[in-house]
Amino acid sequence: MNQEVLAIRHVHFEDLGSLERVLGERSRPVRYLDVGFARIEAPDPVVPSLMVVLGGPINACDDERYPTLVPLVSMIERRIAAGLPTLGICLGAQLIARVLGAKVYRAAQSEIGWSPLTLTDAGRASPVRHLDGAQTSMLHWHGDTFDLPNGATRLASTPACENQAFSWSNHVLGLQCHPEIRADRFEPWLIGHAAEIGGSDGCGVLQLRADTARLGPRLEEAARKMFTEWLDQVEGKV
C-alpha cells in the first residue's frame, strides 16, 4: 500500500479542509478525484492508504439521475471489504451507510448551521471525543439522514439527527456533520449553496458567516486532534 490519500470530491469547495493540514504534516500526498471530471472507477480503491468520500448536495441513492453513484458505491464496497481505512463526511457517510445496508432517506428537517454534538459513551472513548459539544460546536449541512448500519457503533447525535457519527469495525468512520470546515475558506459554501440556505429553517447567510468566523477556529483545532488520533488508530491496525 502506498501513502497516497484518495479523496472523492463532489463539489470543489467541499474538500478536506483542516484535515488536509494533518496529512501535509505527515507528508501524505492527497489525490482528489473530482466527480464529473474523471472516471470514478479508474483508481483502484484498495491501493491508497486512506480513502475519504466527501460531501455534496445530492441524494446518496439517486442512481437514476446521478450515475456516478453506482461505481462509487462499488469502490466503497471494495475498500471496506478489504479492511482498509475509510472516512465518509456528510454525503460520504450516507454512502458508507448505504454500502453497509442501512436506509438513507430525507430527514424530518434540514440541519444547516452550528450546534454542538452530544456524544455517546462509545464516542467519548473514541477519537470523536475531541468533537464533544462541551469543547466545540459543529457545522451541520444536510437534508438527508440514515439509519445506523448493522454492526455499527453510534458515536454522536444532535436533536435533529440521531446518527451524526458512527464507526464500523476498526477501520470505518462516518461523520454526517462537517468537522473539516475552515473558517477562512467558508465563503464558497455560502455562494455555492445559496439556494439551499434560502430554504433552510431561518439560518441565513449573515448568521452562518458570523457563526463560522466565531466558532470555526476552535472546531479546526478539535478536528485536527480527532483526525490525528483516528489516523494513528486505524493505520496501526492495517
Each residue's pLDDT tens digit, 176-201: 999 999 999 999 999 999 888 876 55
β-bridge pairing 152-158 and 30-34: unpaired
Give 38's pLDDT tier (boundaries 50, 70, 90): confident
Q: What is the model's pTM? A: 0.95
Candidates 3.20.20.80, 3.40.50.1370, 3.40.50.720, 3.40.50.880; correct CATH number of 5-235? 3.40.50.880
pLDDT digits (tens, 9 = 90+) for 138-180: 999 999 999 999 999 999 999 999 999 999 999 999 999 999 9
The CA R_g of the chain, rounded to the nearest whole Å, is: 16
CA distance 36 to 49: 24
End-to-end CA distance of the chain: 10
Which residue type occupies 179?
A: P
DSSP 147-171: PPPTTEEEEEEETTEEEEEEEETTT
- Give the model's pLDDT for residue 202: 52
Residue 90 CA to chain centroid, in angstroms? Answer: 4
Domain boundaries, the chain: 5-235
- Give the model's pLDDT for residue 113: 94
